[in-house]
Amino acid sequence: MQILKKHISAASAWAFYDWANSVYPLIISTAIFPIYYEQVTPDTLVLWGLSFRNTELYTYALSVSFLLVAIFSPLLSGLSDFLHDKKRFMRWFCYLGAISCSLLYFFSDLYEHGYLALGLLLVILASLGYWGSVVFYNAYLPELVPKHQQDVVSAQGYAWGYVGSVLLLAACLSVITSYGTEWTAHCFLAVGVWWALFAQVTFYILPHSHVRVEKAPKGAWKEGYKRLLVVLDQTVHTPMIRYFLYAFFFYNMGVQTLMLVATIFAQKELTIPTSGLITSVLLIQIVALFGAFLFAKISKLFGNITSLSLTLLIWISICFMGYFYLDPLEPLEVRAQRFYITAALVGLVMGGTQSLSRSTYAKLLPETENHASYFSLYDVTEKISIVFGTFAWAFLEGITGDMRLGILALAIYFMLGLILLLRVNNRYFLQIQEK
């Protein structure tokens, strides 16, 4: 490990955590587990005496996980700033997510033996672990590199994530193809092991912030919310941060909800076969690898707000394509072809939007030692927006039985985000690049 520390910079080790944890959003959130869940559960599920569509219940479970992150991340972020040890909390959430992913190996058995609630709890905890660790991971960015390098380093992280997650996905598909679908559950175990194992590189090299305090003094747990309120007050009086977070709230509702439900939508509404879904996921990851660097380059030339605005225009186009272009009544071959085209566009803007959002916010922050608290506000904004987005999607599906109306709602979110984003001064980011 000493060799790693000698040859790998802290910024590279930070980016490498994306290699470790991106297997969760690809394999668990997007590619394999949603398909597996749809196959092992009937169309209608009963939980605590209430009847749900299976995909509706799954989306509600994700909403709960994001709500929990929004509630607890301010407390832990403020505490981590107080103790000067973001790494400790990042590690806790990493292991929670990795262990929960591994235990999804038993999801089918839990459902068959009447423990559906426990299976859904594992889904919630896996999501909680991933997103909780990302709060502290993101907070490291402004501490490791200067503002003019943050777009590139942020994109590097997403690039590592796309490559690593595609490699594990390819390995999982190879096993399933060779040994049969009954081996699918082994993929969830592999995700947990991969995540925890490769995260050790990041944990070993990333520095602790300043002087560590090993034990929290009495009352320190309240510090998180106190610091969040201070940060919130400072944000209210900083127009660019305020308008960016308003915009981020709306367009992130669209981005994250679409990414979370796309596979299930394609399987249930368009009846795209499993092989086609996996192909589309791989296509998205490959294109996203280039998209992250493409929009980082555009931001360097024309500024972050211009680059982000371009991604939102493409997202709006994707939503209209999803509603009008992806017609369930067309022949399967036509539906599949159109779905691949739409998936390629998603990949093009997915990496750019996420990477630029993180680095844009980091550039807007004032000189401070409370980066975790500031990123806690970013994270709360992100998670509450996902709660609204996923809940609205599930609610519309529940009352109409049709997922397609949710796509139009996503288009509205993107439009609102674009309108608010244009209130942020793009010239500020161009000045940073000139320094």
pLDDT tens per residue across span 194-213: 999 999 988 888 876 544 44
What single string gives the DSSP state of each residue in 134-148?
HHHHHHHHHHHS-GG
What single string gives the DSSP state of each residue in 7-69?
HS-HHHHHHHHHHHHTHIIIIIIIISHHHHHHHHS-SEEEETTEEEEHHHHHHHHHHHHHHHH
What single string gives the DSSP state of each residue in 320-331?
HIIIIIS-TTS-
Helix 184-205 and helix 150-179, axial crossing angle in degrees, nearest 10: 150
427, two tokens? 């010239």
267, two tokens? 């399987």
In this prediction, what percent of the chain has a pLDDT beyond 90? 20
pLDDT band for position 366 (cuts 50, 70, 90): confident
Amino acid (1-letter code) at residue 132: G
CA neighbor of 428 nearest in space, from 360, 372, 367, 373:
360
Please report which helix (H) or strand (E) contains residue 348, including its range.
Answer: helix 332-364
Q: Rounded distance, CA 111 to CA 381, Å?
A: 33
Q: Rounded distance, CA 381 to CA 163, Å?
A: 28
Is the pLDDT at 344 greater than 70? The verdict is: yes
Cβ atoms of 161 and 27 closer than 8 Å: no
- The whole-number average pLDDT for the span 369-389 is 78
101, two tokens? 């992913």
> What region, left, alpha or beta, does residue 48 occupy, with left being phi > 0 and alpha being psi -120 to 50 degrees?
left
For 108-234, list the strands marked E by DSSP. Answer: none
Phi, psi of 53 (to 5 degrees): -70, 145
pTM of the full predicted structure? 0.74
Q: Rounded distance, CA 244 to CA 308, Å?
A: 11
Cβ atoms of 77 and 224 closer than 8 Å: yes
Q: Rounded distance, CA 28 to CA 129, Å?
A: 13
- The whole-number average pLDDT for the span 318-344 is 84
**Second-level CATH architecture of 2-205+219-434:** Up-down Bundle (1.20)
pLDDT digits (tens, 9 = 90+) for 49-98: 778 888 888 888 888 888 887 887 777 666 666 666 778 888 999 999 99
Please report which helix (H) or strand (E) contains residue 387, including its range.
Answer: helix 371-400
Which residue bears the tokens 């982000």? 308
Q: Rounded distance, CA 76 to CA 90, Å?
A: 10
What residues does each domain of the chain span?
A: 2-205+219-434
Cα-atom radius of gyration of the chain, to the nearest Å? 21
pLDDT digits (tens, 9 = 90+) for 122-167: 999 998 899 888 878 877 777 777 767 776 777 777 778 878 888 9
Encode burial over 313-346: b for 16+ CB neighbours within 10 A, e otherwise: ebbbbbbebbbeebeeeeeeeebbebbeebbbbb
Strand partners, 44: 53
- List the alpha helices (DSSP H) in 206-331: 223-236, 239-268, 274-302, 304-320
Phi, psi of 9 (to 5 degrees): -75, 165
> DSSP character for 401?
S
Q: Rounded distance, CA 113 to CA 50, Å?
A: 18
- Size (the chain), residues: 435
Q: Rounded distance, CA 414 to CA 420, Å?
A: 10
- The whole-number average pLDDT for the span 390-416 is 85
pLDDT band for position 187 (cuts 50, 70, 90): very high
Q: How many CB atoms lie within 10 A of CB 113?
A: 11
